[in-house]
Structure 1
Amino acid sequence: MAEANTAVSEQNVPFAGAGTAETVQLMVTVNGVDRIFDAEPRTTLAEALRGTLGLTGTKIACDRGSCCACTVLRDGLPVCSCMMLAIEANGHSITTIEGLAAPTALHPVQTAFIEHDALQCGFCTPGLVMSCAALLEHNANPDQEAILDAISGHFCRCGTYPHVMTATLAAAAKMRGDDNG
């Protein structure tokens, strides 16, 4: 186990010696902007996004990877940011809920979640939106099984799953340009 951690550190930390004795310096592209910051090796990506970078849209609920509320995209793929160390994001591109939308308009998945009541308390919503958006980037015409697979790790206490399904199908249609209304 120690060898794996050493390999990860050596591979992902190009700024050897930077930071303090207790931190490492990381360079991560977050929402299209290169960010350089110091973090303790034990800091999770979720903690760094929220505490260090001030991106509080990423929610920490279970803090052990069992609810997926903290889902962000690492190089376009969904990951639970509470289960990923910030050091593992070094040199990668991270997209959070704050970076999903265009400057002047919400992402189609965000709009569809609103239009189809796919949220209630909203705590799990950012993670669900990120997973559904990632699905639609890789599958323009998903069926219900593909959507269920994409959201299978998400835990929504309010039970909005049927609305999430409807919203994702609507967003897919809009993104394909075949929505009629």
Structure 2
Amino acid sequence: MIRTVRTALVLLLATGGPAACARQARVESGPADSAATDTATGTVRQVGNTPFVRTIVEDPSGAVRIVGPYESEISRLVGARVQAVGVIDSASRGRAMGPDLRASGYTILSVDGDRPTVGYLRRSDAGDFFLRTEEGHDVPLSSVSSALADQVGAKVWVVTNAQGAVARYGILKRP
């Protein structure tokens, strides 16, 4: 009996312990001395039950839990494919649920197969709607619904048709 327990313990330690059995997300890292160099690319999901709901970015290799100031925005993108950028909390590595990524930014890669434009909803003095991107570009919008029109100043994503008519949108941060 003692020999069996000792053998099992040796095998457990040799394979990396219980964490070696857990799925871990693929996280790409840059140089150790640079800030915000870890990235996680995958589909946004929410897991857990209230009040313990967590936002994760998941790909076939596993998941990374999103924490930090961008978590609330990323949590509004359930089902979308994103690339989150930040720093992995070294204390969270090896956890069965995946490591924590303290996000310092993100890019929406696709929403239902379409690449959205992200920016702040604005309205000109003439009453025309446009999206001001974080790069400072203005993207004209047409066919803005009354529900979206009420969100002037909000950070949003939009998918438009070739004429600039809003086909779909989502609110990332209220005004």
Please identify which structure carries the higher helix content: 1
Point out the structure with max Rg over C-alpha: 2
The TM-score normalised by the length of structure 1 is 0.25
Of structures 1 and 2, the one with the larger relative CO (CA 8 A, separation 6+) is 1
Report the structure, 1 or 2, having the larger strand content: 2
